[in-house]
A and B are shown apart, each in its own frame.
Chain A
Amino acid sequence: MNAPETMKPFRHVGTRPVRPDGVDKVTGRALYGPDFKAPGMLWGAILRSPHPHARIVSIDTKKAEALPGVKAVATGRDFPTLESLVMHVGEGASDIVDVSHNCLAFDKVLYEGHAVAAVAAVSPEIAREALGLIAVEYEELPFVLGVEEALAEGAPVLHDTVFTKGVEPRPDKPSNAAMRVEMGGGDVEAALASAAATVCERYALEPVHQGYIEPHACVASWNGDGQAQIWCSSQGHFAVRALTASVLAIPQADIRVMPLEIGGGFGGKTTIYLEPVAMMLSKKSGRPVRLAMTREEVFRASGPAPGAVIDVRLGADAEGTLVAAEVEFLYHSGAYAGSDAGSGVASAIGHYRIANTRVVGTEVLCNRPAAKAYRAPGAPQVNFAVESAMDELARKLGIDPLDLRLKNAAAQGDPQTSGLPWGRIGYVECLEAAKAHPHWSAQLGPNQGRGVAGGYWGNYGGPSTVNVSVAEDGTITVATGSPDIGGSRASMAIMAAEVLDVPYEQVRSVVADTASIGVSMVTGGSRTTFATGMAVVQAAEEVKRLLCERAARMWGVEAGQVEWRSGAVVCTDGAKQGQAMTAAAIAGNSLHSGGPVAAVAALSAKGWLPGFGVHICDTEVDPETGHVKIVRYTAVQDVGTAIHPDYVEGQIQGGAAQGIGWALNEAYIYGADGRLDNAGFLDYRMPVASDLPMIEAVMVEVPNPAHPYGVKGVGEVPIVPPLAAVANAIHAATGQRLRDLPMAPDKVYAALHPEG
Chain B
Amino acid sequence: MSKIHVSTTLNGDAAEFLCEPTSSLLDVLRDTMGLTGSKEGCGSGDCGACTVMLDGEMVCSCLVLAPEAEGRTIATIEGVAEGSVLHPVQQKFLEHAALQCGFCTPGFIVAAKALLDRNPNPTETEVRYWLAGNLCRCTGYDKIVRAVLDAAADLRQERTPA
Contact = CB atoms under 8 A, between A and B. Distances in A.
Contact of A28 (B35, B125, B136, B137): B35
A27 B139 contact: no
A125 B30 CA distance: 15
Given A26-B99, A27-B86, A211 B42 contact: no
A653 B143 contact: yes
Interface string A1-34: 0000000000000001011011101111111101
A513 to B, nearest CB: 19
Contacts of B78: 27-29
Contact of B102 (A261, A647, A689): A261
A25 B100 CA distance: 10
Contacts of B80: 27
Contact of B144 (A212, A646, A682, A689): A689
A295 B134 contact: no
Nearest to A488: B100
Given A28-B37, A487-B97, A263 B140 contact: no
A639 to B, nearest CB: 15
Interface in B125-153: 125, 127-129, 131-146
B61 interface: no
Interface stretch (B44-52, B64-72, B154-162): B44-52
Interface in A651-696: 651, 653-658, 680-682, 686-692, 694-695
Interface residues of A, number: 58
Q: Chain A interface secondary structure, helix, strand, loop or mixed?
A: loop
A18 B90 CA distance: 12
A653 B139 contact: yes
Given A686-B137, A689-B132, A650 B37 contact: no
Contacts of B133: 688
Contact of B47 (A125, A213, A261): A213
A656 B143 contact: no
Nearest to B92: A26
A25 B77 CA distance: 10
A549 B8 CA distance: 62
Contact of B105 (A18, A25, A647, A658): A25
Contacts of A692: 128, 140-142
A653 B49 contact: no
A288 interface: no
B137 A486 contact: no
B144 A213 contact: no
Interface in A345-397: none
B139 to A, nearest CB: 5
A214 B86 CA distance: 24
Interface in B6-53: 20, 22, 30, 35-44, 46-47, 49
Contact of A650 (B35, B106, B139): B139
B93 A26 contact: yes
Interface string A248-287: 0000000000000111111000000000000000000000
A32 B39 CA distance: 9
Interface residues of B, number: 58
Contacts of B44: 295, 680-682
B94 A26 contact: yes
Nearest to B110: A28
Given A18-B94, A29-B37, A295-B42, A695 B142 contact: yes
B55 interface: no
B137 A694 contact: no
A294 B128 CA distance: 27
B34 to A, nearest CB: 9
Given A28-B36, A650-B97, A681 B46 contact: yes
B14 to A, nearest CB: 21
Given A25-B102, A646-B97, A694 B81 contact: no
Contact of A19 (B94, B136, B144): B94
A213 B43 contact: no
Contacts of B140: 650, 653-658, 687, 692, 695
B81 A27 contact: yes
Contacts of B94: 18-19, 22-23, 26
Given A27-B80, A214-B39, A653-B142, A680 B46 contact: yes
A427 B135 CA distance: 32
Contacts of B105: 25-26
A203 B144 CA distance: 35
B44 to A, nearest CB: 6
Contacts of B125: 690
Q: From A31, A35, A211, name the one whose CB has the most chain B CB atoms within 10 angstroms.
A: A35
A292 to B, nearest CB: 9
Interface in A191-222: 210-215
B73 interface: no
A663 to B, nearest CB: 14
Nearest to A688: B132
Nearest to A294: B43
A485 interface: yes
Given A25-B99, A26-B86, A688 B41 contact: no
Nearest to A680: B44
Contacts of A295: 41-44, 47
Contacts of B144: 689
Nearest to A633: B140
B86 A654 contact: no
Interface in A31-53: 31-32, 34-35
Contacts of B139: 650, 653-654, 657
Contacts of B145: 689, 694
A140 B63 CA distance: 36
Contacts of A650: 97, 100, 138-140, 143
A475 to B, nearest CB: 20
A248 B154 CA distance: 55
Contact of B142 (A22, A265, A690, A694): A694
B104 interface: yes
A213 B41 contact: yes
Contact of B38 (A22, A28, A485, A653): A28
A457 to B, nearest CB: 17
Nearest to A212: B137
Contact of A264 (B37, B90, B129, B137): B137
B77 A214 contact: no
B30 to A, nearest CB: 8
B36 A689 contact: no
B38 A263 contact: no
Contacts of A657: 139-141
Contacts of A487: 97, 100
Nearest to B125: A690
Contact of A654 (B49, B100, B132, B146): B100
10 contacts: A27-B77, A27-B80, A213-B101, A261-B101, A263-B41, A649-B143, A650-B97, A681-B42, A688-B134, A689-B127
Given A28-B38, A485-B100, A690-B125, 17 more contacts: A26-B99, A27-B81, A29-B78, A212-B137, A213-B39, A213-B104, A213-B136, A264-B100, A264-B101, A295-B41, A295-B47, A650-B143, A653-B140, A653-B142, A654-B137, A686-B137, A688-B132
Interface of A: 16, 18-19, 21-23, 25-32, 34-35, 125, 210-215, 261-266, 294-295, 485-487, 644, 646-647, 649-651, 653-658, 680-682, 686-692, 694-695
Give the 7 A-B residue pairs with the shortest CB-CB distance, closest first. A28-B37, A263-B103, A657-B140, A25-B102, A646-B97, A486-B100, A653-B140
